[in-house]
Structure 1
Amino acid sequence: MLLKKFIFLNIGAIITAIGLEVFLIPNNIIDGGVVGLSIMAHAITSQPLGVFLVLLNIPFVYLGMKQINKAFALRTIVAIILLSFWSAYFVPFQAVTDDLFLDAIFGGIITGCGVGVIMRNGACFDGTEIVAIILDRRSVFSVGEVVMFINLFILSSAGLLFGWDRAMYSLVAYFVIAKMIDIVVKGLDESYAVMIVTAAADEVNKALTEGLGRGVTIIYGAGGYTGADRKILYSVVTRLEIDKMKEIILDIDENAFITVNAVHDIVGGRLKKRSGH
């Protein structure tokens, strides 16, 4: 298990290093967080990127060890050391293109894939995410809001150092990286939990099971105003099936009440279509 984790952390570090050293850094386009700060420090001092990745992350990893858990902090240390090694390895490689927009897009895609692999294996490169997790527990701000605030400050600093055009390309790269991380961590086939309140629960249940091939759970409840007994249907479907599910339900009961919520993780069971219908 530990060997498997190390292999995937190494793969994630290699992919991230390619995105940074072959696309972003040669064109003064940065990522957010500690990686972005490290790129700027590297540009100012000409010292290896890995030196700053390690030094700037030390206090954050220490916080993570104290406030989150030691296993996460240790995996993060390994990931940072691996990224430092591979970033030094890819320094001599030439930039693939001088087109800044292509660099921002493809550098963002590759870097985001690498960071996503790291996050799927319980680690991170960026100490600011550790701070965000801790602040989320102790303040009214969410992890996403804290990370966004920190990164807006860092990207603004890039504008002062590299020029505002590079800062804008960095913002493009940052959003591409964030989206790719979501895709790698959550998958392209995102899942959604659907709850259906309908007067035709049995018909809808049958239609979804036979027509869509999805399992349905029946929850017994009561109307808050009328007190009448109701069957509430619960199912989990993929993003591509949402519209089809709504169509099936509303064809049977146009007054059905449907709520759809993104599912960030599924443990146990099997999300797959039933066969033989």
Structure 2
Amino acid sequence: MTTLTKNHKRLTLFHILKRIIAITIGGLLMSVGLNIFLIPNQVFDGGIAGISIILSHVSGLSLGLFLFILHIPFIYIGYKQMGKTFALSTGYGISILSISTTFLHGSLAFTNDVLLATVFGGIIGGIGVGIAIRYGGCLDGVEILAILFNKKLPFSVGEIIMFMNLFILGSGGFVFGWDRAMYSLIAYFIAFKVIDIVVEGLDEMKSAWIISDCPEEMKEAISQRLGRGATYIYGEGGFSGDGKKIIVCYISRLEEAKLKTIIEEIDEAALLSISHVSEVRGANFKKKDIH
């Protein structure tokens, strides 16, 4: 019997410090979004933060205490499901969120306009959560729980998170009123979209797959006129049985129109498929100068 072992590369001191700083900023931003914008206007959040806000309001106990205690089981689940590094990063992020909330909770509202507070609280909180996720942590246990339930339920992680948050936001309506629950739903939606932007980045890339009878000429034009490299994937036509060179390249959204122009000029009958890519990395992925 062959024993397979995984060698995990240790993080360098630079990467550890970068992660600590990023997760600290993320936790502080989420705390600002909650305590300076949302909570003073009785707008609450989804997830464990939302449950903590409701319990704190009903019991009169510290919000920071609820945030920390309620997240302990999820940190353990994160350790079992995703490893020690994730659990440590998440535990640190939750600690920063809880401590900063303890100091900021009850402070004056930045604005008394409920709609402005909803929008900016959602944006700032979303940026904070997104930064934490991007650097390997998590500031809300609902996502960890959804990953666990996903293995036993016929729903995606996103659907489970949505169901949980709709239940939490609905429960908050009985405590803060239904108008505040609707504002909270707006804040949640804004934060959800901002998290995607922060995690995936503003520099959205796209992958282009091109099937053409002029692959060499097409690849050369992409290199010379777009400054992008291309890769051949060898395939076979399902109907004709002919061998095909499929060209694969990665472009920015600003380059999509120019790529289509190049393809139309060289081979109008070429098949083009373009899909979204959240991130492209690698030492060989860089745009060459074009003249």
The alignment's TM-score, normalised by the length of structure 1, stands at 0.93
Q: Could you tell me how far 1:12 is from its partner in structure 2?
A: 1.1
Aligned to 1:75: 89
Aligned to 2:53: 39
- How far does the alpha carbon of each residue in 1:108-156 deviate from its partner, in whole angstroms, 9 at most, with x for none? 1111111111111111111111111223344432111111111111111
* CA distance in 2: counterparts of 1:4 and 1:206, whole angstroms: 40
Equivalent residue letter for 1:85: I
* CA distance in 2: counterparts of 1:173 and 1:55, whole angstroms: 24
> Given that residues 224 and 290 in structure 2 are in contact (C-alpha distance below 8 angstroms), is that contact kept between their aligned partners in structure 1?
no
1:151 corresponds, among 165, 175, 178, to 165
Question: In structure 2, the residue corresponding to 1:104 is in which secondary structure?
Answer: helix
- How far does the alpha carbon of each residue in 1:182-210 deviate from its partner, in whole angstroms, 9 at most, with x for none? 11111101112111112232232222222
Q: Alignment RMSD, CA only? A: 1.7
Question: In structure 2, the residue corresponding to 1:221 is in which secondary structure?
Answer: strand
Question: In structure 2, the residue corresponding to 1:34 is in which secondary structure?
Answer: helix
1:209 corresponds, among 209, 223, 242, to 223
Equivalent residue letter for 2:43: I
* CA distance in 2: counterparts of 1:104 and 1:31, whole angstroms: 10
Q: Could you tell me how far 1:76 is from its partner in structure 2?
A: 0.9
* CA distance in 2: counterparts of 1:274 and 1:254, whole angstroms: 26
Q: Could you tell me how far 1:92 is from its partner in structure 2?
A: 4.5
4+ residue runs over 6 A deviation: none
Aligned to 1:106: 120
* CA distance in 1: counterparts of 2:116 and 2:206, whole angstroms: 33
- How far does the alpha carbon of each residue in 1:192-250 deviate from its partner, in whole angstroms, 9 at most, with x for none? 21111122322322222222221111122210111111110101112332233223323
Aligned to 1:4: 18
> Cα distance 1:247–1:55, how it changes in 2: closer, same or farther (>3 A)?
same
1:61 corresponds, among 53, 75, 94, to 75
* CA distance in 2: counterparts of 1:138 and 1:269, whole angstroms: 39
* CA distance in 1: counterparts of 2:154 and 2:207, whole angstroms: 26
Deviates more, 1:237-246 or 1:30-39: 237-246
> Cα distance 1:250–1:47, how it changes in 2: closer, same or farther (>3 A)?
farther
> Given that residues 227 and 290 in structure 2 are in contact (C-alpha distance below 8 angstroms), is that contact kept between their aligned partners in structure 1?
no
Aligned to 1:218: 232
> Cα distance 1:125–1:150, how it changes in 2: closer, same or farther (>3 A)?
same
* Equivalent residue pairs, number: 277
Q: Which runs of 5+ in 1 are unaligned?
A: none
Aligned to 1:142: 156
Give percent identity, aligned residues only: 47
